[in-house]
Structure 1
Amino acid sequence: MEAERQAIEAVVRDYVEGMVRADATLLRSAFHPDSRIVGHFGPDLQWLSPEAFIAGLQARGPVVAEGEAPVWRLESLDLTGDTALAKVTDVYAGLDFIDYLSLLKIDGRWRIVHKLFHLHG
């Protein structure tokens, strides 16, 4: 069980690092290609594929300086068999988010299959 938690935390870390650094390789590793990223950004509903999400992040570029650690915390992790739900708080470009990440173990590897986000603060 501890090994599974560590593997999931590594995927979450890759997701956060990839997001703040606009690193497509890390993000593609964290997300399943058929996953979706859903939530309101301001008044606009976003319902994105991983590639659209990555393209938006790359257009903005990195939001942390080289060597700077991203601000995030794994608030909770619910793990049942090959499914998991992680609640993550993180800061992106000075904005505070709560992300609910659904993960599935596919072919022995954890991947994010859905990201539901809330912008607050």
Structure 2
Amino acid sequence: MSDALTDLQGVISDYFDALHHCHTGLLKKVFHPKAIYATADEAPLLYRTMDEYVPVVAARQSPASRGEERRDAIDEIQLAGDNTAFARVRCSIGDKDFTDFLTFVRDGGRWQIMAKIFQIRPRTEGGA
């Protein structure tokens, strides 16, 4: 199981890099093609497929290009078995802090995010 944790930490690191640099190729690597992206912080509920989400990221100015400090952390990773896992992670983009619940599947021997459900908060002192 420790290999799985190491692999998941690597995927999460790539996820943080993809968000910080708006790197859509890396984003497509870490998310399963059938993954979902959702938050109840917008009304109506925001729900996107990967085909809808990736172009949104591509159109953003990256936090890296704005010189934003990286604020990301892994709070926990839980393994449900050999092919399913969960992680609670935090990151900041612009003036917002995000708590992401990421559900992972191991498909074809590779861990990918199958669902991203997240909470948005205005930036707090110290960030994520």
| CA spacing shift, 1:24–1:88, aligned 2, 3 Å | same
Percent of residue pairs identical: 25
**After TM superposition, which residue ranges in structure 1, 4 or more long, deviate above 3 angstroms?**
40-44, 65-69
> What is the Cα-based RMSD across aligned positions, in Å?
1.8
Tell me the residue number matched to 2:115: 114
Residues 35-114 of structure 1 mapped to structure 2, 5 A cutoff: 35-65=35-65, 70-81=70-81, 82-114=83-115
Q: Distance in 1 between matches of 2:59 and 2:44?
A: 18
TM-score (norm. length: structure 2): 0.85
Tell me the residue number matched to 1:5: 5
Q: What is the total number of aligned residue pairs between the two structures?
A: 121
Q: Distance in 2 between matches of 1:66 and 1:97?
A: 18
8 Å CA contact 1:20–1:63 kept in 2: the answer is yes
Amino acid paired to 1:63: P
Q: Matched residue of 2:86: which SS?
A: strand
Tell me the residue number matched to 2:29: 29
Q: Matched residue of 2:16: which SS?
A: helix
8 Å CA contact 1:22–1:54 kept in 2: the answer is no
8 Å CA contact 2:104–2:112 kept in 1: the answer is yes
User: Structure 2, unaligned stretches of length 5 or more?
Assistant: 123-128
Q: Distance in 2 between matches of 1:66 and 1:6?
A: 30
| CA spacing shift, 1:64–1:41, aligned 2, 3 Å | farther
Amino acid paired to 2:56: G
